[in-house]
Amino acid sequence: MWQNILPWSFSLLQFTREIKGTPELETKIVTEVAGYGSQLGTIMDVIEVMQKEYPIDVKTLDEEEAYMYLKFKEPVKDIGKLKA
């Protein structure tokens, strides 16, 4: 058996039923304010602005901090490429 699973084939119900908070509120936020991707994109944009204002030198970070920083930067870069 083979099934093609596409990200746009999932319903909002599938995303919100696993939420630990209030599913009704999450549904309202996602449908009336901004989707998860939009919310996350806004957060990533703000962090990028902050990073430009207060640059981070990876060499001054410990191993775990450097890993977290680079783990954040990689998808930001990849998303930027896709948007371009």
- Give the closest residue to 42 by CA, choosing from 31, 34, 51: 34
Query: Taking a C-beta distance cutoff of 8 angstroms, is the pair 54, 82 a contact?
Result: no
Q: Specify the pLDDT at position 23.
A: 79
Query: With contact defined as beta carbons under 8 Å apart, do 28 and 19 qualify?
Result: no
Flag whether the pTM goes above 0.85: no
- Per-residue pLDDT in tens (0 to 9) along the chain, 84 residues: 555 555 545 555 555 556 677 878 888 888 899 988 899 889 989 998 998 999 999 899 999 999 999 898 898 889 889 888
50 token code pair? 């902050």
